[in-house]
């Protein structure tokens, strides 16, 4: 029962420590966020199309192998 009573005593110091750590963080600029977001979107589309076409190629190859046997 004492453990449940003590959680609130640790809560506010925890929040102070979190705030202090967040002040130490080097946040990216708006331009950095924009450019990395664009890179992620482009890479996602690229790999999505790549995997789609590779799936088509391997499906065709497996169907050809299955038709031989």
pLDDT per position as a tens digit, 51-67:
999 999 999 999 999 99
pLDDT attached to residue 4: 59
pLDDT attached to residue 5: 58
Cα–Cα distance between 50 and 45 in angstroms, integer? 8
Question: Per-residue pLDDT tens for 18-36?
Answer: 999 999 999 999 999 999 9
- Residue 9 C-alpha from the chain's centroid: 34
Q: How confident is the model at residue 2 (pLDDT cuts 50, 70, 90)?
A: low
- Helix extents (H) in 1-69: 2-24, 30-68
Q: Which two tokens stand for residue 15?
A: 């929040």
């Amino acid at each position: 029962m004492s453990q449940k009573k003590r959680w609130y005593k640790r809560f506010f110091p925890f929040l102070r420590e979190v705030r202090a750590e967040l002040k130490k963080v080097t946040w990216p600029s708006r331009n950095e966020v924009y450019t990395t977001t664009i890179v992620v979107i482009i890479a996602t589309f690229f790999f999505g199309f790549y995997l789609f076409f590779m799936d088509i190629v391997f499906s065709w190859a497996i169907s050809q192998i299955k038709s031989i046997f």
